[in-house]
Structure 1
Amino acid sequence: MRVNRARRNGAARLPLRASPPPLINRVTAAVNAISCWYCDLKIYALNEPLFRFGRKHASIFKLWFSIGTGFGLAALVGVTSILIWQLFISSDTRLTNLFGSLLFGFSPSSRISLSDAGYLFISTLVSVSVHEFGHAIALASEGIQLEYIAVFLAVLFPGALVAFDHDLLLALPRLTSLRVYCAGIWHNAVFCAVCGLLLFLQPVILSPFYIHAESPLVLDVASPLSEFLSPGDAIVSLDGAGIHDVQDWMDMTALLDKKILQNSSDFHYFKGFGSVDSRKGYCVPNALLEDAKNVQLAKNQSVCPYDFTAFVKIHCFDPSKSVSVVDEDGGLGRRENELCLNTKDIVNLEKCDGGGKVMRNGSRCMCSEDESCLSPVQFPGLMWVEITYSRPYSTECLQFKSSSLDSNTSDAVEQTCGGTFVFVGDVISMAHSVQLTEYRPRWGFILGKYIPNKLEKSLICTFHVSLALVLLNSLPVYFLDGESILEVAISHFTSLSSRKRRKVHQICVVGGTFISVLAFLRILFINVF
């Protein structure tokens, strides 16, 4: 993003070094500039309203921007020190990634989709406008009339600028110049705080229209869950654990993936064909087992028809242990207690997961005499998980709920409004294939379910971009606010001669620009290569 502005025809554009302008007559009229890589739109209608507003509340704004001056000076010292420490002292890549995310507004290694680019474009335009609005109000409060306000597009990056008579600013005290130069950084910092507060209060603000953190709502779903879920469905539980928000969904899938990795680290797991999680069993009627076929095991893979999964019959087991399925032949084998069953026939059966109806030699069996306890065989990267969902906005569900007032019909409502299915595969990929929101509309407004998610994304993106503007403009780099802040600060807080001040300023800005370029190259190198 281009936040630097140059001088032209004696009219100054922030940020600008506090040096005398060239002796050229100032041209008050300007036309919109258009080229193959740059175009802008100059706005004159806001000059008088902003000037009157700034002069009317001048005393309040001077106090406001005096606080911003302290923040700007602290940011100049703090950000520069952190950049030097991160570049020459610290070798922690996590800190480098964090600093890079803050500077760029996003992680340089992340892939940006077309919709993300739209959020970034609008957030940049809003954040830069807030930045320049701070400069404009600070100038007006000091009695300096604006020439114009311009919104520009350089290559693909939006920006804004304010033009004014720089001679008037030079005639004022240096502390006044500091208030003007620090105003943009200060407004971006306050804007970050506002975005953060709105994000924190968003559930309260939207509570009259949305239910928050009850069950995450599906906004979009890609393979492999598109066969079962559709936009508007709500995820109720994952492997029996209740899911209330998006973080629960991600944490639970990470926990399940960690569990299968721990099982796969066992020696017997690799020597055999799979692992049986004894905490995940189903009481299958023996009549159903008579029609089932035995599993063919070859090259560490179960050979079952489509939509069928390998199960192992375990009569009684200790739920604290995991059973490994090992083929002693080491190549091709057939085990009598391993069967291929349809997952749709199994998922709604009663579970034998250690609740224990009968105790036999310290083990628990929940199944009756005419049932057998079977557990699915799991392989590395093939996790068996149950996902329970509901469809609260479907026509059938709404009609059934309106006609069912008896509390005894809750089970029927659950069956009508949703269901349970089994996913076998990589749970991490599965979790990221679903786009969820924590907000459910209180009424069945179809498009309403997208509003909270888009609002949240906009606030998060604007927060990061505005914070990036604070950090970038706090650096002593050419053409940024930090250059002007540093020059005026050296003049105001030191007693050096004019020649020495210029030399110190030049050394600091050249060094700051060089260090910043090195830091950015390091961040890009670490994230890209």
Structure 2
Amino acid sequence: MAFGVVSMFVSMLLLAKTFSQTLALMTAEGPTPENERILQVVVPGVNLPISQMVYFFSAILISGVIHEVGHGVAAVREQVRFNGFGVFIFVIYPGAFVDLYTNHLQLISPIQQLRVFCAGVWHNFILALMALLGLYSLPIFLFPLYYTGSGALVTELTENSPASGPRGLSVGDFVKYVENCSVDSVENWHKCIEDISVKPQIGYCIKEEILQHLNSVGRVYRRLDGTTECCSNNSLVDICFSYRGKLQIPQ
């Protein structure tokens, strides 16, 4: 019960803070950064992708059912008659309800009434903790099939991207290093990309046999004398160079 009362006051403070931020946003000349907002209104199709609506409505339905089950369990514990339970859909939003006998609810003490009224919030809090625990436990349960912290997984490539192709990336590849910058998390990935954007570009020398092997799978051009090079002399987008002398490549 104490948790429910505290949660109600915290919710009121959050709503008041959100209301003040909304007023400031309406009166401000420039846009307000998203990361400064405590609560964000979620509108399906506007700031929620259509592809995520199934998960969104499923979460609403589950949390609503657990919330009402909490009221029902608390009512039975406090000897309040329980008439029924059900679910509904309001326009597109799913919900749930519990039907309690009003006369019995009015006969119990105010403390018992608070226990019934606050039980839904408590059950939602436990549900949130269980969901958070399950989220952070996924790498453990899925370890035989999936693993984390070993690189960035390529899940999609933009059409006609310079990074795609036989000499580039493919869906399912792991990126472990970017210019000798280790990638083991999303934060490291963004940091490596930012570091590359401010550093000079680096070129690499490869063995001729490797270049010849790429001739069968990639875009490799042959000169009139039979030698190969990585790009055409008439290319406007590739920057190529060659070394004609003896070169020892470190292993």
Q: Scaled by the length of structure 2, what TM-score is found?
A: 0.70
1:278-336: CA deviations, max 9, x gaps? x6133489x878x974xxxxxxxxxx626x423xxxxxxxxxxxxxxxxxxxxxxxxxx
* In 1: Cα distance, 2:189 partner to 2:67 partner: 38
Give the corresponding residue for 2:136: 200
Counterpart secondary structure, 1:73: helix
Counterpart secondary structure, 1:153: strand
Residue 244 of structure 1 and its aligned partner are, at CA, apart by 2.2
Residue 145 of structure 1 and its aligned partner are, at CA, apart by 3.1
1:115 partnered with 2:47: no
Distance 1:109 1:250, change over 3 A: farther
2:121 to 185, 200, 215: 185
RMSD: 3.6
1:160 to 91, 96, 99: 96
Contact kept? 2:65, 2:96, Cα under 8 Å: yes
1:211 to 139, 143, 147: 147
Residue 138 of structure 1 and its aligned partner are, at CA, apart by 0.7
Distance 1:160 1:97, change over 3 A: farther
* In 2: Cα distance, 1:130 partner to 1:206 partner: 27
In structure 1, what residue type is equivalent to 2:84? Y
1:148-188: CA deviations, max 9, x gaps? 21111111111111112111010000111101111111111
Contact kept? 2:44, 2:50, Cα under 8 Å: no
Distance 1:163 1:221, change over 3 A: farther
Give the corresponding residue for 2:238: 309
1:328-357: CA deviations, max 9, x gaps? xxxxxxxxxxxxx3xxxx7xx9xxxxxxxx
* In 2: Cα distance, 1:139 partner to 1:163 partner: 10
Contact kept? 1:97, 1:107, Cα under 8 Å: no
* In 2: Cα distance, 1:213 partner to 1:78 partner: 36
* In 2: Cα distance, 1:176 partner to 1:127 partner: 23
Distance 1:71 1:159, change over 3 A: same
The 5 A counterparts of 1:21-420 are 69-85=1-17, 87-88=19-20, 93-94=32-33, 97-101=36-40, 104=41, 111-223=47-159, 224=161, 225=163, 227=165, 228-257=168-197, 259=198, 277=200, 280-283=202-205, 293=233, 305=235, 308-310=237-239, 341=240
Distance 1:81 1:122, change over 3 A: closer
* In 2: Cα distance, 1:220 partner to 1:288 partner: 31
* In 2: Cα distance, 1:82 partner to 1:288 partner: 66
In structure 2, what residue type is equivalent to 1:309? D
What is the number of residues matched between the two proteins?
217
Contact kept? 2:84, 2:98, Cα under 8 Å: yes
Contact kept? 2:179, 2:196, Cα under 8 Å: no
* In 1: Cα distance, 2:35 partner to 2:181 partner: 36
Between stretches 197-206 and 172-181, larger displacement belongs to 197-206
Residue 115 of structure 1 and its aligned partner are, at CA, apart by 2.1
Please state which structure has a larger fraction of its residues in strand: 1
Contact kept? 2:14, 2:38, Cα under 8 Å: no
In structure 1, what residue type is equivalent to 2:131? C
Residue 204 of structure 1 and its aligned partner are, at CA, apart by 2.1
Contact kept? 2:151, 2:184, Cα under 8 Å: yes
Runs of at least 5 residues in structure 1 that lack an aligned partner in the other structure: 1-68, 261-276, 294-303, 311-340, 350-366, 372-410, 412-529
Greater relative contact order structure (CA < 8 Å, 6+ sep): 1
Contact kept? 1:86, 1:96, Cα under 8 Å: no
Contact kept? 1:100, 1:107, Cα under 8 Å: no
Counterpart secondary structure, 1:99: coil
